[in-house]
Structure formats: C-alpha cells, structure tokens
C-alpha cells in the first residue's frame, strides 16, 4: 500500500509541475502586444530580475551562514536521550539538519523566482489580451498566476517526501528503529521547513519593503502633489512601483506559501509518527496521510483552474474566480473524504475514518469562511469599504480612523472561525475511542483540509500583480480607453484576490501554528528524560513565571517586528519621494512629456533601501526564539511560541484587512461610485480622492510588507523552535 501512496504523491507532484510548464509555454507563446507595450514591459522585467538577483544573492549568503551555524549548534550541544538506547550522533544530526535546511531554502527560493519570472512575462500578455476582451485577459492572468501556484505546492510536496525517505524516518517492514533515532531524524527533517521559512521571511521582507517604498513615493508625489494618473509614464517611480508588485506579491508570496505547505506537512508527519508508534498495527497511513491529501489538492486545483471559462462580455471577473475556487473546494472535499476512509479504515481504531473526514471538512469550511469574510471587508460591494470611502469626504484623518476601525473589527470574525475550526476538529478527533493524541491529529487533518486548495489560492494571488502590471502597461503605452477599462476592472478584482489570499494565509498560519506548537510539545516531551510519549509531564503552565515571561517576549516580538518593517518602508519611501520631487524640479520636460524620467534611479533606490532594511527585522525574527530557548529553556520557548502566535495572527489580520480596505476604498472612488449630497460624482482629482490616497498610502506597508511578513514569522517561530528543541531540553 505504501508504494501506491508514494505513486500518488510523486505522480500528483509531477502532474503539477508539467501543468505549470504547459501553462508557462502557453503564456510565453501568446501575443506580446504593441512595440510600446513591449518596451515598458522590458523595463519592468529588467528591474524585477535585477532586484531578485541581488536579493537572492544576499539571502543565499545568509542561508549558508545559518545552515553552518545550525549544524554546529546541533553537533556540539546535542546529546543522546538518556531514556532510550542508541541515538544518532550530534555531528550526523547537525549535518542532516543543515542539508535539509539548504534544500528547503533552495526549493523556496526557486519557487518564488520561477513564479515571478512567469508573472513578469504574463503582465505583457495580459495587457495585449485586454485589447481583445476581458475574457482573454482574465484567462491569461489567472493561468500566468497558476504557474507559480502549482510549482510552489508541487515542489513543497515532493521536497518534504524526498527528505523523509532519504533520512529514513521509519522502516516500513520493521517499524521504527528506536525512539531516540526517530526523534533525531524527525528533528533533522524539520530543518527543511526551517530553511523554507528562513528564505520566505527575507524574500517577503525585501520584496514588501521594495514595493511599498516605490508605491508610496509614486502615489504621494505623482497622484497627490502632481495630480497625474497612477501609472502615468511621467512619474519617475512608476516602473519601480510595477516592479515591486512582482517581487513582493509574486516572489514573496510564493516563498511564503511554499514554506506554509512544507511546515504544515512536517508538523502533521511528526504527530503521525507518534501515532504510528503507539497504534496497534503500526500503520504508515498516519505519516503518509498529509502528503496524500496535499497531492489530491493539486489535482483539485488543476480542475479549478481549467473550469474558469469567462464570458466575452464585460462582467464581474470575481464571479469567475469564485467559480474556480468553489470547484476546487468541491473536489478537495470528495478527495479528502475518500482518502480518509481509504487510509484510516485499517488502522485499528473504530470511527477514525469518518471522524477524521469531518475534521478535514472543518478545514475546508474554514478556508471558505476566510475567503468570504475577507471579501466582505475588502471588496467595494460591502459596508466596510464604502464606510471608508464616505469618510474621505471629511479628509484624510477620518479615512485613517475609519480604516483603522475596520482593521480592528476584522480580528473578531477571524478569531471565531479559527477557534471553531480548532475546537471542532479537536473534539471530533478526541472522541475516537482509544486513540492517543486523536484530538491533536484532528486539528492536523483540518489544517491539511484548508491547505488542499493552496495551488488555486496562490494562482488567484499572483493574478493580482499580473493585472496591476497589465494596467500600468496599458496606461503607459497610451492604449485605448476601452482597453484600460478592462485592465482597471481586473486590477480592482486583483486587489480583492490579494487581500483574500492574505486572509487565507493568516487562517492557515493559525491552524498550522497550533499544529506545529503541538508537534513542538510532543518533540520536547519525547526528548525529555522525565517523560514518555503517553504520560508526559506538563510543559506549559502559565502560572510558571518562565512560561509567562516567554509569552510576554513573544507578544513584544510581534509589535517590535511590525514597527521595524513599517519604519523600513517609511525610510525607503522618504528617499523615493525626494528623488521624484528632484526629477520634477530639475527637468520641466518630464511633466511636459518631452523628456523621459530616470526610471532606473528610482529602481535602484528601492533596491538598495529594501536590501538594507530587510536584514535587521530578519535577524530579530531568527535570533529571538534561539535566545529565549537557550536562556528560558523549553518552557520559556513554549510560552513565547504560544502567545507570539496568537498576537501575530491577530496583528497580521488587522494589518492585511485594514490595508486592503483602504486600497479598495480608493478604487471605489476612482470608479466613480462616491457622490456628494447634490449627486455630484467625487472621482479622481477630487479632495475625497486625495484623502483616500493618503489612507491607501498608510495601508500600503500594512498589507504588503508587515502583514505578509508576519505570516512567515508565525511559522518561523514554530519551525525554528521545533528544529532546535534538542538544545532547549
């Protein structure tokens, strides 16, 4: 049976990669538009690739240093468990963990790089397709985004599986070798997730700082001060802004969701390994189930992408994308229920099949809930965005106040949804007679259910920057009005899909964090000389001052990290604003349209600012859990992990949704939907629009830098404490 499961995993992974390559071939072979479009797109491509080369070179150096330091720490400080027989040596453990770290880092970086490469090719093809119809442009942008989605999930799935097999996590004929060996092997496997998280953090930080520095500079000087359109070619920062959409939302988010799927799979595998050891027939299904579920998610997402066949007429493109998502979710549901009955039917526990199927359904419903309430809070059709738009009539201060209130409000439904998913899946799993850790594994199944649709969700996310770039290309190339209307409609939908994906990422991060937190507790208990897997000593007691202080530090880390990332955007944006103003003053021909701005100078400012500013927040995120674990030991690290995760999820939710609501309130006004008391339309160049632009500018670093970086930080805290748990005991 194991061979069948393995064939499904690698088969689905290969199907995902082949599908992505076919989509990439289709995108690259499509119409490239007019020479003017190609000229602008080439500037975006050159800027994006130049930044990514410099960024990933910096990250590569950091990753090698981190891998060596990790290996040395484990080799020097790791000792054999006193409660078991033999254990692999510290040197072997250090080497294996370092190798897994580097493989995870490489796959994460590769996922982001390839996805962004296709995205910056798809933007030109989408702009060209918009000359024909909205349907063609929508299809092109979604399939261009799907290249990233399928590569990310397929590489994550195959990478985790290969590391598990290469390190021999268990022998399928004889069971585990011995407890200490298994513990160390599983610890080294976590290095893969740690490496993915490490790269994702710096990729998201660097890309987020870059894109918002350019965006803020372009908006405040170009739209507010100079009164020119968003993507006007006279704006020196416009190319840097378009580049930023790709390096932040494509490369950064690709690395983010790669490490999400890898970390969740690893956490579920660790819990499954514990159940494998204690189950009566030592069934490998406990370990392989998360991988098989993710494999079926790839197939379901593939069907979802293919069913999107939009009408040629102008219509709400979000309905087409939603149809693809609903189709994906439907096939995920069928696959999850079928696999639950197939894999858990012979494990020796009554009711395990249908009860774990229910747990997975909880996860799918959770993803639905996050998609729906994120649309409610960030789409112009609903009360929150319209409330912010109405506030713009009285100036930028009330816009900021209204958006802040909306952001705070969004934490309530997200908490209720996450809480319902965790409690529901826990109690259903816990009700399985005689199964140890059934409740915890139930939450793992719910997490995997939510992540089954990750490939389609990431396709919708990358759809956003592709359509944003396409809009910039059409405006800068002076395309006809009807073409710009199509790209504007898709750009507005893209803002919603990006916000939706961030909400999905926060929800999955919350479920995954509990899963990884549970895996951390199990690993700590298994390696502790005073406990066993079945009768552990309590590790987390909030009355213990060590745990309490660790929790305080975790909460403070979230606020300090957010402060550093927002400040980094502010400083880099300040340099951009000064440069744009300088060019306008020194060369009057720019505004007259007789001379071309120095786009390269603005690209360079964003690049240098981002690469410099991403280091300190990244080191803070990596260093804090290590220091806490080594000083306050395993209990302090557990407190930091628990409270830091809770605060991080709420903060990320606030930042993402407040920023998304501000952005779409501006779009709502630009679309001519806001009127004054006399019925006059308050559109572009009105005082209300200028106020909304200020609100959007405040929200830019929230939704595209700090919020997405917190998604990664939450899981980085889990993976780094999990991989270093031997040092904290």
pLDDT band at 80 (very low <50, low <70, confident <90, very high): very low
pLDDT digits (tens, 9 = 90+) for 509-550: 788 778 778 878 777 776 665 444 434 445 677 778 999 999
- Provide the terminal-to-terminal Cα distance of the chain, rounded to the nearest Å: 37
| pLDDT of res. 48 | 85
Please give the model's pTM, rounded to 2 decimal places.
0.86
Cα separation of 729 and 637, whole Å?
10
- Residue 246 is classified by DSSP as I
- Judged by average pLDDT, the poorest of 29-43, 247-261, 347-361 is 247-261
- Section 486-513 average pLDDT: 81
Cα distances from 269 to residues 168, 386, 515, 722, in angstroms, run 13, 45, 10, 13
Average pLDDT over residues 70-74: 85
Q: Is 80 exceeded by the pLDDT of residue 172?
A: no
User: In angstroms, rounded to a whole number, what is the distance separating the alpha carbons of residues 364 and 367?
Assistant: 5
Half-sphere exposure of 1 toward its Cβ, with a 13 Å CA cutoff? 17
Please give the pLDDT value at position 8: 95
pLDDT interval class at 365 (50, 70, 90)? very high
Q: Please tell me the predicted confidence (pLDDT) of residue 67.
A: 92
Which pLDDT tens digit goes with each residue over 414-442? 899 999 999 999 999 999 988 888 898 99
Q: Which of these, 543, 547, 522, lies nearest to 533 by C-alpha position?
A: 522
Give me the residues paired with residue 675 across strands.
Answer: 681
Determine which helix (DSSP H) or strand (DSSP E) holds 305, and give its type and residue range.
helix 285-306
Query: pLDDT confidence of 184, banded at 50, 70, 90?
Result: low
Q: How is 339-376 classified by DSSP, letter by letter? A: HHHHHHTTSS-TTHHHHHHHHHHHHHHHHHHHHHHHHH
Residue 646 in this model has a pLDDT that exceeds 70:
yes
Q: What pLDDT was estimated at residue 2?
A: 79
Average pLDDT, stretch 149-154?
90
The confidence score (pLDDT) of residue 537 equals: 46
Q: What is the pLDDT of residues 93-126, one digit of tens each?
A: 788 889 989 998 998 888 778 777 888 889 999 9
Tokens of 623: 């260093």
What band does 169 get if pLDDT is binned at 50, 70 and 90? low
The DSSP line for 48-62 is HHHHHHHHHHHHHHH
Which is higher by pLDDT, 173 or 251?
A: 251
CA R_g for the chain: 25
Per-residue pLDDT tens over the stretch 199-240: 888 888 888 888 888 888 888 888 778 888 777 888 888 888
* DSSP 8-state secondary structure symbol assigned to residue 250: I
Contact 98, 68 (CB under 8 A): yes
Asked whether residue 50 carries a pLDDT value surpassing 60, the answer given is yes
Does the pLDDT value for residue 82 go beyond 50?
Answer: no
What are the two backbone dihedrals, phi and then psi, of residue 681, each rounded to the nearest 5 degrees? -75, 130
* More confident of the two residues 175 and 525: 525
Quick: pLDDT tens for 256-301: 778 778 877 888 888 887 787 777 777 788 888 999 999 999 999 9
pLDDT at 726 over 80: no
pLDDT bin (cut points 50, 70, 90) of residue 185 is: low
Distance of CA 368 to the CA centre of its chain: 17
């Amino acid at each position: 049976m194991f061979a069948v499961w393995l064939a499904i995993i690698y088969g689905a992974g290969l199907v995902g990669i082949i599908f992505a390559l076919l989509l990439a071939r289709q995108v690259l072979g499509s119409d490239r538009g007019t020479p003017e479009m190609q000229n602008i797109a080439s500037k975006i491509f050159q800027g994006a690739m130049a930044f990514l080369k410099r960024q990933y070179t910096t990250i590569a150096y950091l990753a090698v240093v981190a891998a060596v330091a990790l290996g040395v720490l484990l080799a020097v400080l790791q000792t054999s468990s006193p409660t078991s027989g033999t254990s692999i040596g510290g040197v072997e453990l250090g080497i294996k963990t370092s190798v897994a770290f580097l493989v995870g880092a490489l796959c994460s970086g590769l996922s982001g790089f390839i996805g962004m490469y296709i995205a910056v090719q798809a933007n030109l093809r989408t702009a060209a397709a918009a000359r024909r119809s909205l349907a063609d442009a929508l299809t092109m942008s979604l399939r261009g985004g799907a290249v990233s989605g399928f590569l990310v999930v397929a590489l994550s799935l195959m990478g985790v599986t290969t590391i598990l097999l290469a390190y021999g996590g268990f022998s399928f004929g004889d069971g585990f070798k011995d407890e200490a060996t298994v513990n160390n092997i599983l610890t080294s496997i976590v290095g893969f997730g740690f490496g993915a998280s490490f790269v994702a953090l710096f990729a998201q930080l660097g890309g987020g700082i870059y894109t918002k520095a350019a965006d803020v500079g372009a908006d405040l000087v170009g739209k507010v001060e100079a009164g020119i359109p968003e993507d006007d070619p006279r704006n020196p920062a416009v190319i840097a802004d378009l580049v930023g959409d790709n390096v932040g939302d494509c490369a950064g988010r690709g690395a983010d969701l790669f490490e999400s799927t890898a970390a969740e799979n690893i956490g579920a595998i660790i819990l499954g390994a514990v159940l494998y050891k204690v189950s009566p027939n030592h069934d490998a299904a406990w370990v392989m189930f998360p991988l098989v579920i993710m494999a079926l998610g790839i197939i379901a997402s593939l069907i979802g992408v293919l069913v999107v066949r939009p009408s040629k007429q102008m219509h709400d493109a979000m309905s087409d994308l939603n149809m693809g998502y609903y189709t994906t979710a439907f096939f995920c549901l069928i696959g999850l229920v079928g696999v639950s009955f197939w894999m858990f039917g012979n494990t020796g526990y009554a009711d395990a099949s249908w009860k774990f199927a229910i747990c997975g359904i909880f996860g799918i419903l959770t993803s639905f809930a996050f998609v729906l309430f994120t649309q409610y809070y960030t789409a112009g059709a609903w009360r929150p965005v319209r409330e912010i738009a109405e506030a713009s009539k009285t100036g930028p201060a009330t816009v900021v106040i209204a958006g802040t209130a909306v952001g705070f409000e969004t934490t309530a439904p997200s908490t209720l949804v996450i809480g319902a998913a965790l409690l529901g899946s826990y109690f259903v799993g816990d009700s399985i007679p005689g199964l140890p850790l059934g409740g915890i594994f139930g939450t793992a199944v719910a997490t995997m259910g939510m992540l089954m649709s990750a490939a389609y969700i990431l396709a919708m996310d990358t759809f956003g920057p592709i359509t944003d770039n396409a809009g910039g290309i059409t405006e800068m190339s002076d395309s006809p009005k009807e073409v710009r209307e199509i790209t504007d409609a898709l750009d507005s939908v893209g803002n919603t899909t990006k916000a939706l994906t961030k909400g999905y990422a926060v929800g999955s991060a919350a479920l995954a964090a509990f899963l990884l937190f549970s895996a951390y507790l199990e690993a700590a208990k298994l390696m502790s000389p005073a406990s066993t897997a079945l009768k552990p000593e309590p590790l987390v007691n909030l009355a213990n001052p060590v745990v309490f202080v660790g929790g305080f530090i975790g909460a403070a880390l979230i606020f300090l990290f957010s402060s550093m990332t927002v400040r980094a955007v502010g400083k880099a944006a300040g340099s951009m604003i000064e440069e744009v103003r300088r060019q306008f003053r020194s060369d009057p021909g720019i505004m007259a349209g007789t001379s071309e701005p120095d786009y390269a100078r603005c690209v360079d400012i964003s690049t240098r600012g981002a690469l410099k500013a991403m280091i300190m927040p990244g080191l803070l995120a990596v260093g804090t859990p290590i220091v806490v674990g080594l000083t306050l030991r395993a209990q302090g690290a557990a407190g930091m992990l628990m409270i830091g995760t809770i605060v991080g999820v709420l903060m990320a939710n606030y930042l993402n949704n407040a920023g998304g609501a501000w952005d779409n309130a501006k779009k709502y006004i630009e679309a001519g939907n806001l009127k004054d008391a006399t019925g006059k339309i308050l559109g572009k160049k009105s005082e209300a629009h200028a106020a909304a632009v200020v609100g959007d500018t405040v929200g830019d670093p929230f939704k595209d830098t700090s919020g997405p970086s917190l998604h990664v930080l939450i899981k980085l805290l889990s993976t780094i404490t999990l991989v270093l748990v031997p040092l904290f005991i």
